[in-house]
Amino acid sequence: MRVLFLCTHNSSRSQMAEGLLRARGGTRYQVFSAGTHPRAVHPLAIKAMAELGIDISEEAGHRAKGIDDFADAPPMDLVVTVCDEAAEECPYFPRARRQEHWGFPDPSAATGSEEERLAIFRRVRDAIAARIEAFLQQDQERAAT
């Protein structure tokens, strides 16, 4: 199953979702992420994911990508927007079998000390992880029927 996660900058939420589904979904999934206005992967997203043993750094091959990078890609089975802005700006993927919106707050908008901001990244990471687990359970049930 080909899954594409979209958010505005492809720097935090969609990168964490990609990393989590890659780590937990196994070989059943080909997972990608992109942004409508890509920026570099956020260092606190990298740090929060590293706490789970998941490397989303550039050294591991992760980089922010734009939606145009997928214009000529094979069809996606599922396109998931993970922020409201991307849901509004998201182009219709006519070859996508399904599109869903999983809204999460933007951790990169957090203020405070690094530890306070990291705590917000952890909360968003954990919310995404819970949604990924629910998705995997639903997908497994669908496959069994």
Active site residues: 7, 83, 90
Q: 3-state SS of the chain: helix, strand, coil percent to 5?
A: 50, 15, 35
Q: Report which of 125, 136, 131, 113 is spatially closest to residue 12, judged by C-alpha positions.
A: 125
Residues in the chain: 145
Alpha-helix runs per DSSP H in 30-83: 43-50
